[in-house]
Amino acid sequence: MAAVRPVPHVYSSRQSLLVSGEGQRFTAAAMMQCPPFQKRRVVSMGLSEQGPSVAIVGVTGAVGQEFLSVLSERDFPYRNLKLLASKRSAGKQITFEGREIVIEELTEDSFHGIDVALFSAGGSISKKFGPIAVHKGSVVVDNSSAFRMDEGIPLVIPEVNSDAMSHIKLSNKKGALIANPNCSTIICLMAATPLHRHAKVRRMVVSTYQAASGAGAAAMAELEQQTREVLEGKPPTCNIFQRQYAFNLFSHNSAVMQNGYNEEEMKLVKETKKIWSDPDVKVTATCIRVPVMRAHAESINLQFEKPLDEDTARQLLRQAAGVVLIDDRASNNFPTPLEVSNKDDVAVGRVRHDISQEGNHGLDIFVCGDQIRKGAALNAVQIAEKLL
Amino acid sequence: MAAVRPVPHVYSSRQSLLVSGEGQRFTAAAMMQCPPFQKRRVVSMGLSEQGPSVAIVGVTGAVGQEFLSVLSERDFPYRNLKLLASKRSAGKQITFEGREIVIEELTEDSFHGIDVALFSAGGSISKKFGPIAVHKGSVVVDNSSAFRMDEGIPLVIPEVNSDAMSHIKLSNKKGALIANPNCSTIICLMAATPLHRHAKVRRMVVSTYQAASGAGAAAMAELEQQTREVLEGKPPTCNIFQRQYAFNLFSHNSAVMQNGYNEEEMKLVKETKKIWSDPDVKVTATCIRVPVMRAHAESINLQFEKPLDEDTARQLLRQAAGVVLIDDRASNNFPTPLEVSNKDDVAVGRVRHDISQEGNHGLDIFVCGDQIRKGAALNAVQIAEKLL
């Protein structure tokens, strides 16, 4: 594997100071560094005449930046890289793998000759420009919720259901759209699927502890700013969220639907059914935003059709690709959001027999995963790798 | 009702800056102020020859301080007030209701003539001095976990099961012990009991979002200090907890038991059975510490024996003593820990039909309650009020 190259970034004005457990100073760029425990699959050699022509739509956002980082770290092969954003950012330069690339304005003509387009610019941009790119022959990997539940559009977590996209090839130059699931769903199913395959999940009760990053880089900056203000005894600035976030938590900010669930919760319910191709699996969720920067946590209660004991569950999780087991009861060492920040793997712990269920048909688990990485950019790049 | 009097405090060196949603500056003393929405029951007139002789054990702790605040606000009648603490604090003065009271060292002779002793000094102090106080004829209301599960010791949330202590009277001068449940249990059952009485809870899945205050005033100070350090790019000081708490969360710091549950989780499981006198109710819990100062939140999934629809549930919660319903879907306004901080009532919201259960047999709710107040000091003082 080639050494990790310096990673570019454009939003230096928004850089936040974040500190790891060891007290290191992190900037947005440093946050993109990689951990030692990853089982990384190396695909190819970066800039390559044989690689696809790649476009990134929404390159200036938190996920857009992470796309660059992940593509570089994984040596994703590309013949050409086009960076697209709104008119406001057009003309700015990004240094990527030692070359200056000028950001171009996203227009209807942006996708000529593009093989793979990674979208992360919000649902309305995806709805407008996704079909245009597909029409031009691009395979779009879309990080928004615009197409996730559309019939015929694969919704893919590569470790879970890559077969759903097996009919899509770059070689035939026919455009297609593949949807990246919501971050909470990806993190949940990375942990639940190895257990589901073994014992079939009948019902799942999920409570989330979601980071600021899910609401974008500006929300991370607001959490930091508010925290400074609160510590100085000043009123907290509330632009992104309607209430104080520092030293507080609140029900997820997405709209609440007719049935009382918010959109974030319904994504977990519906996307799970689609990804597992199991319309009968029962899911309920309560999604909460907590004052953490960039990794989500989820408390997951599982009911299985077949018996599944703790030890077998731990063994299954240990063997699962993209999952790391942190489950040391003696030293009270379990996954935390800070530990998984900037890391690829989803961490699972607190694996235990649910004493509220009869026999060996229930488990409680606690899961943490980086929202920007596996919850968004990494998963999308892994989807793109499957196309090669 | 008499006006709320100035509230004393001794731990000024530990005062933390906390900010409400409106950006007010809070000190430890100001944090004791009361909200407008409480349905407060006024008992009597403060200092009174007819009142009991009261002792507070552990008066310098976070809960001990809150005892003073709550006694004063509720005009708890007392003939005499004895403030007890360790040798280290003995001799210090506290101004309470305009009078200086000297803190005395807790010894075996402290309980002579004491009618009611409010204990909050940890399990080992309760185990040693609780029986001594009872032997002297005091009724001990104990905030530790030392006696909670002992047969014959009532475990009481006044709104839920005050009948469990109906045989205990001050008038007969026979000492007795009453246990205050764990904070998470109190907050959970304040919301779940009105629904349980109507439809009988068969199973409950709880995920907690627990504040620093549950680990004491020093943990609150550590969270504040760490947050400052992290924002300054310094390594966080970890004295109380073994890992970074600022901008992070972690599995509850109590010991993990043989069955994989930590002690905090098993308190929820066992105390619920005892308080509801229902050994068959099934409970599972995942307890997580979040970077919030003094109020807990809990995501609770309920399975009922009898059908219970959303509207009826909301009506039951609206009518419940000590509960306030905050459940505005249109404006995404639901309970938050910050809102309930320094307030008596437990707030409930996100009341919705659980779509993962058949028929009307399931509900999801989200609950917030002040850990120091209803989770500890207020509940104990309410127990003492029942003795009058």
* Whether A334 contacts B286, CB under 8 Å: no
Q: Which residues from A are below 8 Å from B289, CB to CB?
A: none
**Given this model, what pLDDT does residue A21 score?**
31
Given this chain, do its domains B12-180+375-386 and B184-372 carry the same CATH topology?
Answer: no
DSSP character string of A210-259: E-GGGG-HHHHHHHHHHHHHHHTTPPPP-SSSSS--TT--EE-SSPB-TT
Helix (H, G, I), strand (E, B) or coil at B27: coil
Q: Cβ separation of B235 and A209 shorter than 8 Å?
A: no
Q: Kindly tell me if the per-residue pLDDT of A72 is higher than 90.
A: yes
Place of tokens 């919850």: A375
Closest Cα in chain B to A236: B23
pLDDT, position A161: 98
pLDDT over 70 (residue A45):
no
Does residue A13 surpass a pLDDT of 70?
Answer: no
Backbone angles phi, psi at A72, to 5 degrees: -70, -50
Indicate the residue of B247, B297, B362 with minimum beta-carbon distance to A293.
B247
Mean pLDDT, rounded, for A273-300: 98
Which amino acid does the sequence have at B331? S
- In angstroms, the Cα distances linking B13 to A39, B10, B56 are 49, 8, 21
Which CATH code for domain A184-371? 3.30.360.10
Alpha helices in A243-368 (DSSP H): 263-275, 310-319, 337-340
Chain A residues whose beta carbon lies within 8 Å of the beta carbon of residue B231: 17, 224, 227-228, 231
Is B292 in Cβ contact with A17 (below 8 Å)? no
Give buried/exposed letters for A71-93 (b at 16+ CB in 10 A, else e): bbbbbbbbeebbbbbeeebeeee
Average pLDDT over residues A265-293: 98
Radius of gyration of chain A (CA): 20
Fold (CATH) for B12-180+375-386:
Rossmann fold (3.40.50)
CATH number of B184-372: 3.30.360.10
Question: Which residue out of A265, A293, A332, A361 would a mutagenesis test of the B interface target, given it has the greatest number of B Cβ atoms within 10 Å?
Answer: A332
Q: What are phi and psi of B28, to 5 degrees?
A: -55, -40
Q: What is the DSSP string of A274-291?
A: HHTT-TT-EEEEEEEE-S
**Contact between B283 and A356 using a beta-carbon 8 Å cutoff:** yes
Closest listed residue to residue A175, CA positions, set A108, A113, A105, A82: A113
Best of A223, A227, A251, A351 to substitute, by most chain B Cβ atoms within 10 angstroms, is: A251
Closest C-alpha among B348, B354, B367 to residue A205 = B354
Measured in angstroms, the CA of B18 and the nearest CA of chain A are apart by 7
* CA–CA min distance B261, chain A (Å): 7
Closest CA to A192 of A313, A309, A340: A313
Residue among B284, B357, B364 whose CB faces A364 most closely = B284
Weakest-pLDDT range from A39-48, A81-90, A207-216, B276-285: A39-48
Q: Are A365 and A341 in contact (CB under 8 A)?
A: no
Length of chain B: 388
Chain B residues inside the 8 Å CB shell of A203: 356
The residue in chain B having the minimum alpha-carbon distance to the alpha carbon of residue A257 is: B329
Q: Choosing among A229, A248, A334, which should be mutated to test the B contact, i.e. which has the most B CBs within 10 A?
A: A248
Structure-token pair, residue B80: 């005499």
* pLDDT of the residue at A29: 29
Q: Which residue has the tokens 């570019």?
A: A8
Inter-chain contact A352–B310, Cβ cutoff 8 Å?
no
Dihedral (CA of A228, A233, A237, A242) sign: positive
DSSP β-ladder status, B362-370 and B295-304: antiparallel
pLDDT tens digit sequence for A127-147: 999 999 999 999 999 999 999
Nearest to B235 among A23, A247, A351 (CB): A23
Nearest-CA distance from B147 to chain A in Å?
A: 23
- Nearest-CA distance A346 → chain B (Å): 15
B233 contacts in chain A (CB < 8 Å):
17, 19, 25
Q: What are the distances in angstroms from CA A343 to CA A39, A296, A357, A373, B135?
A: 11, 12, 34, 7, 59
Q: Report yes or no: B87 and B154 within 8 Å, Cβ to Cβ.
A: no
Chain B residues lying within 8 Å of A290, measured CB to CB: 209, 249, 290-291
The single residue of A9, A183, A196, A287 carrying the catalytic annotation is A183
Does the pLDDT value for residue A30 go beyond 90?
A: no
Q: Which residues of A touch B297 (CB under 8 A)?
A: 249, 288
Residue-wise pLDDT tens digits, A309-346? 999 999 999 999 999 999 999 999 999 999 999 999 99
Q: Most A CBs within 10 Å: which of B356, B358, B364, B367, as the mutation test of the A interface?
A: B356
Distance, in angstroms, between B142 CA and closest chain A CA?
Answer: 28
CATH number at A12-180+375-387? 3.40.50.720
Chain B residue with minimum CA distance to A241: B332
pLDDT of residue B239: 97
Q: Tokens 């609440």, residue? A: A256
More confident residue, B21 or A211: A211
Query: Which residues in chain B come in under a pLDDT of 70?
Result: 1-45
Task: Give the global pTM.
Answer: 0.90
**Interchain contact, B224 vs A207, CB within 8 Å:** no
Distance from CA of B176 to the nearest CA of A (A): 33
Q: In 3D, which of B370, B387, B366, B368 has the Cα closest to residue B378?
A: B370
In chain A, what are the domain boundaries?
12-180+375-387, 184-371
Q: Of A9, A196, A252, A296, which is the active-site residue?
A: A296
Please report the number of interchain residue pairs, chain A to chain B, with beta-carbon separation below 8 angstroms.
210
Is B62 in contact with B216 (CB distance < 8 Å)?
yes
Reference A287, options A339, A244, A246, A252; nearest CA is A252
Residue A28, pLDDT above cutoff 80? no
Identify all chain B residues contacting A288, using CB atoms and an 8 Å cutoff: 209, 297, 299, 366
Nearest to B223 by CA among A340, B184, A16, B215: B215
State the pLDDT at residue A173.
86
- CA B100 from chain centre, in angstroms, equals 27
Sign of CA dihedral A159, A360, B363, B193: negative
Task: Write phi, then psi, for A210 (nearest 5 degrees).
Answer: -100, 140
Residue A7, pLDDT score: 33
Annotated active-site residue B183? The verdict is yes
Helix (H) or strand (E) holding B179: strand B176-179
